[in-house]
Structure 1
Amino acid sequence: MNINETEVAELLGALSDAKAPSGFEDETLAVVREFCEGWARVDENTLRDGLITPRSFTGEKPVLMLDAHGDEVGGMVRAIHANGTMSFVELGRFSPGALDGQDVWVRATDGSWVRGVVGVKPPHFWSEAERAVGRGSLALDVGATSREDAIGRFGMGMGEPFVPATSFSFDGRTGVAHGKAFDCRAGVCAMLLALRELSGRDDLPFDVVASVSAQEEVGERGVAAAVRHFSPAVAFMFEGCPADDTFAPADEVQAALRRGPMFRYFDRCMITNPRYQRFVLRAAAEAGLSVQTSVREGGGTDGGPVHQLDVPCVVAGVPCRHVHAGTAICALEDVRTTAEVAVAVAERLTPEVVAGF
């Protein structure tokens, strides 16, 4: 599989910079459409799932569905106050304290984006109760001086989304990328690379399709519609999974940078099909590709709804440090290896093998 580092970095950067929290995945899908131009069709449903069908699709073979979710954690304006600031709800869940002082982009009612900040009440003005918990109140602030100013000058409105205003960067010398939304844009990047490679193979016993599923961060809401659309026999899921190598004891590290994708045996929404998991790990070993495995105590993925629809699936997680915050870190080599593992698995899958899962 020939993967150009510059192309991977540019694709990951475009996906990371897309402002697309749960329910507002439009900018992610715009990047996906541009990447797929000329070799695949991208349809969209009302949930904002992107449904990718390569031109090589025959309709005569069982279907292997790839999946990665296109949304990111973000927020939504709840109310506009008399002083021009706004209250908000989170779309998904940020790490505690991660939003404090975070610069953000807030979508205006005309579709443009306005710079703002999740403002923190200065400690000079904290109440005794706030001092006791060590945290002041938060307010979404674009610089308006009144409710009328926020609406009239800045275009603010109830129900409008916001995301961290982090810009992507990649250091070719170190191979490390910084950016927002690597959960799951790192997964989307790996999936698109794998899908393009597989779409050019006419020797596979499966038609390979993909979904860029919506609203994963608010309860894996979009992927079931994608499954109903494609009716796959088997699925291979991609994630930008939280790395634990900066805080877990050495013997407990299960998702570290530069060690390849992580395949989970268990999380809060799925016990991975053990026969499929063994098949994937064997395929990676045969291909000489590094992978790591985990038993997760928390978290969930699109694998949850998919396996409950009786579609066997595994989840390949690109390890990303500091997800569910304003800026994350990942190694480009892990994105590349994740795509390569998916291709190695697809090359070895047969309907008979899947029937044994």
Structure 2
Amino acid sequence: MNYQPNVQETFSLIKELVSIPSPSGNTTKVIAFVENFLKEYGLELKRNRKGGLIASIKGTNDKEHRMLTAHVDTLGAMVKEIKSNGRLKLTMIGGFRWNSVEGEYCEIETASGKVYSGTILMHQTSVHVYKNAGEAPRNDDNIEVRIDEKVSNADQVRELGIEVGDFVSFDPRVQLTESGYIKSRHLDDKASVAILLNIIKHIQSEKITLPYTTHFLISNNEEIGYGGNSNITPETVEYLAVDMGALGDGQSSDEYTVSICVKDSSGPYHYGLRKHLVDLAKQNNIEYKVDIYPFYGSDASAAIRSGNDIIHGLIGPGIESSHAFERTHESSIENTERLIYHYLLSEMVKY
């Protein structure tokens, strides 16, 4: 059955998703957005205790299940310390480098829900004052947040309601270009979440029957290592993580194809499922790349480490400059969406 994704709808969903702050540990708003989106399409929906969302579609075979996952949590930070000068020290949420957010606008959300804007800066930013502005290390000691409020000491900051432990999110700066790119922070992994949502919408709207009962886990702790390691039904045979393909020197992935990961820091992915995905791509004229990510882990990695007896795989759109100034092209979104669709309608791997 041929499927032509509506990439502009997927792009629109990505734009909405990345605009909702959701650093790991503070994902309630974005999970609620996904839940409200899916309610219209008549799926079985439930929240797990970790705050993730599971959407299920009953298939012809209800004895063997599939699970697909994409994560909606993102990189971010927490207030580590309120400095005597009214600035904030940060602690990272997720694996990135301070230089990738230096100069970025941010939001600080207090425990009461009040939000303040700010900018992430080096303490030694002004070249007119600090001779070593260019050479000073970008680290926990030197990076700080300048709050957009009239504060000059810690007491004034606390009077705003800001405290240690408050979440800090980064401005996504999302843009869609006429040349077919979307560039934004947090395409990892909200691009994949939008792809799954668009596929679910199509399946339910067209009343397509899946061959196997299929669960879609929108996980919310992947960036800190344990988003997709639970709530896997005993009937689940195949588990496919949908997450970004990492680009750079020595990588075969690009911004225009779907990336099929064969190995990451957790080891090889299931050989049979990997070959099945490649065969599906070839049969359906889907442009793909096979790749290895040396410094990477996924929800599928976490699921395997938790002792689940499953066949695991990983695919996703190619994302340039991961965990920093991310970008991908509409053709990568389209190829990824098509491969997932054909996978959902295919027979399981014989293990």
TM-score (norm 2): 0.89
* Structure-1 separation of matches of 2:260 and 2:62: 30
| Alignment of 1:46 onto 2:52 | no
The one-letter code sitting in structure 2 at the alignment partner of 1:192 is L
* Structure-2 separation of matches of 1:336 and 1:11: 14
Is the 2:211–2:346 contact (alpha carbons within 8 Å) kept by the matching residues of 1?
A: no
* Residue in structure 2 matched with residue 210 of structure 1 by the alignment: 216
* Structure-1 separation of matches of 2:197 and 2:162: 35
Is the 1:215–1:222 contact (alpha carbons within 8 Å) kept by the matching residues of 2?
A: yes
Q: Percentage identity across aligned positions?
A: 16
Is the 2:31–2:53 contact (alpha carbons within 8 Å) kept by the matching residues of 1?
A: yes
* Residue in structure 2 matched with residue 148 of structure 1 by the alignment: 155
Residues 1:45 and 1:112: Cα distance change in structure 2 (over 3 Å)? farther
Counterpart pick for 1:277 among 271, 274, 283: 274
4+ runs of 1 displaced by more than 6 Å? none
Residues 1:341 and 1:232: Cα distance change in structure 2 (over 3 Å)? same
Instruction: Tell me the SS of whatever aligns to 1:94.
Output: coil
| Alignment of 1:106 onto 2:108 | yes
* Structure-2 separation of matches of 1:271 and 1:58: 31
The one-letter code sitting in structure 2 at the alignment partner of 1:341 is L
1:239-283 Cα deviation digits (max 9, x unpaired): 023222xxx2xxx3411111x211111110131111110011001
* Residue in structure 2 matched with residue 195 of structure 1 by the alignment: 200
Residues 1:204 and 1:53: Cα distance change in structure 2 (over 3 Å)? closer
Instruction: Tell me the SS of whatever aligns to 1:101.
Output: coil
* Residue in structure 2 matched with residue 303 of structure 1 by the alignment: 300
Q: How does 1:90-101 map to 2 (within 5 A)?
A: 90-101=92-103
1:187-223 Cα deviation digits (max 9, x unpaired): 111122223334455543201120011211112x121
Is the 2:251–2:292 contact (alpha carbons within 8 Å) kept by the matching residues of 1?
A: no
Q: Runs of 5+ in structure 1 lacking a partner?
A: none
- Compute the displacement of 1:63 (Å): 1.4
The one-letter code sitting in structure 2 at the alignment partner of 1:239 is D
- Compute the displacement of 1:45 (Å): 2.3
Q: How does 1:153-302 map to 2 (within 5 A)?
A: 153=160, 155-171=161-177, 173-199=178-204, 203-219=209-225, 221-227=226-232, 231-244=235-248, 248=249, 252-258=250-256, 260-302=257-299
1:308-337 Cα deviation digits (max 9, x unpaired): 412112111211112212x31111221122
| Alignment of 1:314 onto 2:313 | yes
Instruction: Tell me the SS of whatever aligns to 1:189.
Output: helix
* Structure-1 separation of matches of 2:59 and 2:346: 19
* Structure-1 separation of matches of 2:345 and 2:293: 28
Residues 1:115 and 1:262: Cα distance change in structure 2 (over 3 Å)? same
* Structure-2 separation of matches of 1:57 and 1:87: 50
Q: Runs of 5+ in structure 2 lacking a partner?
A: none
- Compute the displacement of 1:298 (Å): 1.6
Residues 1:167 and 1:99: Cα distance change in structure 2 (over 3 Å)? closer
Instruction: Tell me the SS of whatever aligns to 1:100.
Output: coil
Instruction: Tell me the SS of whatever aligns to 1:20.
Output: coil
* Structure-2 separation of matches of 1:134 and 1:222: 32
* Structure-1 separation of matches of 2:49 and 2:345: 33
Counterpart pick for 1:337 among 335, 343, 350: 335
* Structure-2 separation of matches of 1:287 and 1:195: 20
The one-letter code sitting in structure 2 at the alignment partner of 1:189 is A
* Structure-1 separation of matches of 2:262 and 2:244: 16
Is the 1:236–1:342 contact (alpha carbons within 8 Å) kept by the matching residues of 2?
A: no
* Structure-2 separation of matches of 1:6 and 1:297: 32
Is the 2:56–2:213 contact (alpha carbons within 8 Å) kept by the matching residues of 1?
A: no
* Structure-2 separation of matches of 1:61 and 1:231: 6
Residues 1:290 and 1:69: Cα distance change in structure 2 (over 3 Å)? same
Residues 1:92 and 1:64: Cα distance change in structure 2 (over 3 Å)? same
Bigger helix fraction? 1
* Residue in structure 1 matched with residue 8 of structure 2 by the alignment: 6
- Compute the displacement of 1:84 (Å): 1.5
Residues 1:131 and 1:5: Cα distance change in structure 2 (over 3 Å)? closer
The one-letter code sitting in structure 1 at the alignment partner of 2:82 is I
Residues 1:58 and 1:284: Cα distance change in structure 2 (over 3 Å)? closer
- Compute the displacement of 1:30 (Å): 2.5
Residues 1:232 and 1:302: Cα distance change in structure 2 (over 3 Å)? same
- Compute the displacement of 1:290 (Å): 0.8
* Residue in structure 2 matched with residue 86 of structure 1 by the alignment: 88
